[in-house]
Chain A
Amino acid sequence: MKKKFWILVILLSLAFILSANGQYGFAEEPIIIAVPTSTGFVEGKEGLRVVQMAVEEINAKGGVKVGNSMRPFKVESIDIRDAAPGVPVPEALLGIEKIILEKKPAAIVIGPFRSEALLAAMDIVSKYKVPMLGTIAMTPASEAKIKEAPDKYKYIFRTCLNAKYLVKYLIGTMAFINKEFGFNKVYIMNQDVAWARATADLMKKLYFDKQGWTVLDHEAYPTGTSDFSSALMKARAKGAQVILPIFDMPQSGILVKQWNAMRVPALLAGFISPLAGPGAWKTFDGKIAGAVNCNFELGSAIASEKVAMSKAFNDAYTKRWGKPLEAGHSPGPTYDSVYILYEAIERAGSLDPDAIADEIKKTDRMGVIGRIKFDDGHQVIYDLNPAETAVAAVFQWTDKGNRVIVFPESIAEGSIQLPKGLKSLK
């Protein structure tokens, strides 16, 4: 009885000490990183885990030096559900405002999922002067707003790929396919959301129309669509050689299954979120061989031996959470964003939002996505060489269930192989 009493006293004392000194045993108040995003979707869920992992790493090394004190990071999150079909933008904005007012964060990481929500949230974030490093929403329209009113929107940054850069990588992939196999008939299928529409339109305008490709058809699908048979039949009937899919909804996996089951003799090359991670092979029972997918950032569920940090990050994630990353968009830049913020606060020496924003803008560091620098629209610059800029990674699923990076050349591990039943025109 006495022994039990003393154990209880010790446990209560420990609990008191821990609660008195904060979560990590720091004497100083934690610095709050807010993560308002769609945590019910894989990009948001894994992104949040990445923020937690990066914060644990930083806190384990002593925390963040702010002036003369060392302070820990602390993560607060809210599911703003903006990625779910039918959820209005104002509801997402309420979530963002709530976390800003209640948790008083020093910065926001990840941010809105849908571009529509990001554009609407920019004014709220600026009103409360909270530096934000967005890692999911991709519309270039946010950069235009920042360039129009740089003082007002000085707190808003994006570290993930934007739609323009995605177009650049997709153009590179299509040019490679055209050069290698002589294909020039494409069927475009995209999700009916801002970033996907913008990407598809830009592909048509900037590449297919100019380079003499025939766009056989261009279909936009509402989020939640679960049958793609009509488009696949049309693609077959019209003789499509390449199908360009641009989707980030879970149901887009159905497109891959139908493409395989209907034996459409066309190369599936674009972005389908469920194809991004290593688990896709098992998920789709190995029926995805030959599909080419663009993971938006290196490090997001794909690593290259040529960028050691991308591999170390993916390994660390698997070790920390017990399973590998599956989201081909967000995890890489999210991890880098926490470190960008960490370094910016240390350089600023305070939590003054203007000082932090100024320091974020000056960032020049090597991360898991490559070299990170911001342009005038507060967008991380993406190009083809990870030593100079951040990079995306276009890969192909092989017959053996491996992913081989095929573009950009600086990190390529092989070239595109045509799936069975599809012959080169060269």
Chain B
Amino acid sequence: MVAGTIIYALINSFILALMAIGFNLTFGISGVANFAYGAFYVLAAYVSWILLNLLEFPYPVSAVISILFTVILGALMYRFVLLRVRGQPVSEVIATFGIGLSILELFRYLGFIGFEYTMPVFIDKSFFFFGTYVDMQRILIVIIGLCLIIFLWFFTHHTSLGLAFRGIAQDERTALTFGMDSDRIATLSVSFGAGLAAVASTIIIPLGTISVGEGYDVLIKALAVCIIGGLGSTGGVILASFLIGFAERFTDSYIGSHWTMIVSLAAILIVLIIKPSGLFGKQKELEERI
């Protein structure tokens, strides 16, 4: 039972990390809190579903197209909406939240409601580990999550584009003096973030069903993880994912399922009281206030 709980807590942690990492990347680089993030997650799932079931594309092709579509939409959102309000956090939040609402409610309006909106698992097998069965899709979530984290670290530390990302994130004005185009980098960061939401959706959605409400849930989970870990800190996001992921599963197993949802909310409150910028947050002005 303990081993099983640890295994599912690990899986839960990677699910949370996958859900939050794109939101964090966008905020860390461009400073944009993309509140349309959950909508992109659901959008990718519906696009993939439409391509697979209505247009009968092969599954991998549907998944790749849906990810690319979301990436492009993210870039367009920056170029045509966010560029005009850049640097005004409240306007950015309102604009992205509005776009997210529009996307989600459009699907609801178009009648994408019901239980039939599901995606097949990649490999239909279960394995027996330490006294419990785990399906291949969940194992893949851990493997892909791990690969993605390593890829992001490599990308931001060993590629010129990644270094430009970090340069803009560290000090935009100085980066500009070195000839880095901050608008181009910000566009890429928003579209990469949207793409990561689509990747997370492609891997996680086969576990359940696609629904409009999922968009709001994903946004809340991403926010919870990022606030606890510290907005903009990749290490913080990963640590927070593990903290919440383990806390949720152990609460579920040993205290009661109805307390599970309170865990992440309680964690946000505690972190905001003790360390307002999050575990690894770098917003010194927040630290200085307490």
**Also in contact, A261 and B135, with CB within 8 A (given A237-B1, A279-B115, A326-B115):** yes
Most buried by A among B5, B108, B116: B116
- From A45, A225, A277, B113 is in contact (CB under 8 Å) with A45
CB distance from A275 to the nearest CB of B (A): 8
What per-residue 1/0 map shows which CB atoms of A16-53 lie under 8 Å from chain B?
00000000000000000000000111100100000000
Residues of A40-85 contacting chain B, CB below 8 A:
40-42, 45, 84-85
Residues of B222-256 contacting chain A, CB below 8 A:
248-249, 252-253, 256
CB distance from A246 to the nearest CB of B (A): 13
A41 with B113: CB separation less than 8 A: yes
A230 with B126: CB separation less than 8 A: no
What per-residue 1/0 map shows which CB atoms of A94-137 lie under 8 Å from chain B?
00000000000000000000000000000000000000000000
Most buried by A among B120, B134, B207, B212: B207
Size of the A side of the interface (Cβ < 8 Å), in residues, is: 43
Most buried by B among A86, A229, A262, A282: A229
Most buried by A among B8, B217, B260: B8
The residue of chain B having its C-beta at the shortest distance from the C-beta of A38 within the complex is B113
Q: Interface stretch among A3-11, A153-161, A248-256, A302-310?
A: A248-256
Q: Which residues of A contact B121 (CB under 8 A)?
A: 285
Q: Is A355 an interface residue (CB 8 A)?
A: no
Residues of A274-294 contacting chain B, CB below 8 A:
274, 277, 279-280, 282-285
The residue of chain A having its C-beta at the shortest distance from the C-beta of B121 within the complex is A285
Q: Which residues of A contact B213 (CB under 8 A)?
A: 84-85, 224, 250
Q: Which residues of A contact B256 (CB under 8 A)?
A: 219-220
CB distance from B283 to the nearest CB of A (A): 28
Q: Is A192 an interface residue (CB 8 A)?
A: yes
What per-residue 1/0 map shows which CB atoms of B78-121 lie under 8 Å from chain A?
00000000000000000000000000000010010111101011
Residues of A198-253 contacting chain B, CB below 8 A:
219-222, 224-227, 229-231, 233-234, 236-237, 250-251, 253
- From A85, A250, A282, B209 is in contact (CB under 8 Å) with A250
The residue of chain A having its C-beta at the shortest distance from the C-beta of B115 within the complex is A274
Q: Which residues of B contact A311 (CB under 8 A)?
A: none
Q: Is A147 an interface residue (CB 8 A)?
A: no
B115 with A222: CB separation less than 8 A: no
Alpha-carbon separation in the docked complex, A229 to B261 (Å): 15
A250 with B258: CB separation less than 8 A: no
- From B111, B209, B211, B252, A45 is in contact (CB under 8 Å) with B111
Alpha-carbon separation in the docked complex, A253 to B206 (Å): 11
The residue of chain B having its C-beta at the shortest distance from the C-beta of A274 within the complex is B115
Q: Is B187 an interface residue (CB 8 A)?
A: no
**Also in contact, A257 and B257, with CB within 8 A (given A229-B4, A231-B252, A283-B118):** no
Residues of B177-231 contacting chain A, CB below 8 A:
207-209, 211-213, 216-217
Most buried by A among B124, B212, B252, B257: B257
B209 with A233: CB separation less than 8 A: no
B8 with A227: CB separation less than 8 A: yes
Alpha-carbon separation in the docked complex, A220 to B253 (Å): 12
B113 with A42: CB separation less than 8 A: yes
- From A221, A236, A284, B118 is in contact (CB under 8 Å) with A284
- From B114, B116, B132, B207, A282 is in contact (CB under 8 Å) with B116
Residues of B within 8 A of A (CB): 1, 4-5, 8, 12, 108, 111, 113-116, 118, 120-121, 124, 126, 132-135, 207-209, 211-213, 216-217, 248-249, 252-253, 256-258, 260-261
Sample of 5 more A-B contacts, CB < 8 Å, known A253-B115, A253-B118, A262-B126:
A45-B114, A227-B252, A231-B257, A253-B209, A280-B115
